[in-house]
Structure 1
Amino acid sequence: MIPYVRRKQILEEVEKKDIVYLDELVLTVKNTSLSTIRRDLRTLAEEGQIELLRGGGVRIKEDAYETPIETKKMLNIEKKDQIARFAASLVNEGDVIYIDSGTTVFEMIKYLKHKNVKVVTSNTKVIAELDDALFSCIVLGGEITKSIASIAGPITETMLESMFFDKAFLGASGYSLKSGINTHDLKESKKKGIVKNNSTDTYVLADSSKADRTTFCRAFGLEECIIITDQSNEILENNAKYFVAPEPLMDHNQKA
């Protein structure tokens, strides 16, 4: 197995469980020796993506800060694409939509390129995708946080307060009954709240690793949005409106 694939599996496992131990990773990452996993862990730690704990534990290095986008884009790739594809199918010709920062929301862009819509975004990654896109785009001004490819702050908030959207597609660090839709950053939280208030429909794209997860700031309550995810759970069934994005149909050339 090539190093990139192994390390992606390790990151996905750590993201799921918050803390994972070396002996668990040996069982999860198939056909890989203990020494190889140790080397991969050291590499990921040197890159600042994980933190090595005493006793052989490993966790994502985030503390009170958002996980860097270069780490997040390696996690749950298939689930993110599944969610993004379904979310894009909800966009109608002529809609004015908001695209938030975040790796799952960004995945929508490839499915929107041939739609005649207006996109307003605070996601700096969108800029590189505009050359072959049919949609028109407004990129918000404000303070750029390069590690998460996001624009936020007072200038962004002032611009958003005078804009109104048919549909908003937001990212989140987590959601829970107590903390609602939440994020690591106060500016991001405030931005999401303004967008939600100015949108006819607000969708939060959150794969199953975000369930029952609380981070620093509450943006708004579960009842104030529609969550798009890859898997149902008790929190959603009892407290929220939600869609489970269908898995894509298998290509005829793929093996079952």
Structure 2
Amino acid sequence: MVPYERQQRILEILKEKELVKIDELHLLMPNVSMSTLRRDIKGLEASNEVMSLSGGAIRIQSKTAEIPISTKSTLHVKEKKYIAKLAVKQIKEEDTVYVDSGSTCTFLLEALIKMNINIVTTNTNILNFNEDITANVTLLGGEYNKHISSLSGPLAEENLKKYIFDKSFIGANGIDVKFGITTPSIQESSKKKIICDQTKKTYFLCDSSKYHMSSSVKVVDLNNITIISDKIDEKIAEKTQIIYK
């Protein structure tokens, strides 16, 4: 196959699978060498058609679709754990905090359950923790989304309105100077907006691969929030504070 044909085949595979690792791609295209595949991927990246992720995975450049939590938890792990450590530093004993769904927030939950604080969450991964839990934990009810291990909808929103949080730690699918914080789900967006309204200090947790990316539903503008990430971005930092060290 000529380069154009190979690249179109890569895009076809990604449309079916949403995300694929390069070794999986090689199994699906056994007659194409790994080095040739890498060159084709670089060519697709240059034309903004695909995006490379840590661990050798690639996906279509669009952020409109939600990646299952089982997949997200394997990507950018080092960066997410680093972000979680930075987030812990923002919390004082006996704080009442909200922790969102998402892989980065799950790493944060693992650290927070050992602290003397009050945790409110819609992240169902809390049920998988086997460690002794020191924190006072409240898991709110709601409609269960198995793909992102999250509870949302009217019941979750009504329960959230009963709380005033000292700090909230919220996940994001994209951060863009023009469109602000975005997510693929209208239910998740609605929930996140309520959390912002009920919180004294709001933090959005996201690794730097989400900078200048946007999804289909807006949550909030960049003003009046703080981002915790693994790197700074000068353009985004002009709009809001970024904690990265």
Instruction: Report if TM-score (shorter chain) is over 0.5.
Output: yes
The letter of the residue matching 1:60 is: R
Superposition pairs for residues 27-46 of structure 1, below 5 Å?
38-39=26-27
Q: What's the CA shift string for 1:141-188, capped at 9, x where partnerless?
A: 110000100000011111111211000000000110111111000000
TM-score (structure 2 length as normaliser): 0.76
SS in 2 for 1:107: helix
2:201 matched residue in structure 1:
201
Q: What's the CA shift string for 1:224-254, capped at 9, x where partnerless?
A: 210001111122221111101x3xxxxxxxx
- The aligned length equals 206
The letter of the residue matching 2:213 is: R
- Residues 1:164 and 2:164 are matched in the alignment: yes
1:78 matched residue in structure 2:
78
**Does the 8 Å contact 1:176/1:235 carry over to 2?**
no
1:124 matched residue in structure 2:
124
1:133 matched residue in structure 2:
133
The letter of the residue matching 1:184 is: P
Q: 1-side partners of 2:150 and 2:104: how far apart?
A: 13
SS in 1 for 2:182: strand
Distance 1:164 1:130, change over 3 A: farther
SS in 1 for 2:191: helix
- Residues 1:65 and 2:38 are matched in the alignment: no
SS in 1 for 2:83: helix
1:177 matched residue in structure 2:
177
1:29 matched residue in structure 2:
none
Q: 1-side partners of 2:64 and 2:110: how far apart?
A: 31
Distance 1:242 1:41, change over 3 A: farther
Distance 1:208 1:36, change over 3 A: closer
Identity %: 32
Distance 1:177 1:63, change over 3 A: closer
2:232 matched residue in structure 1:
232
Q: What's the CA shift string for 1:78-103, capped at 9, x where partnerless?
A: 00000001101211100000000010
Q: 1-side partners of 2:118 and 2:165: how far apart?
A: 10
Q: What's the CA shift string for 1:32-85, capped at 9, x where partnerless?
A: xxx87511789xxxxxxxxxx9x9886536874311111111110000000001
Distance 1:173 1:63, change over 3 A: closer
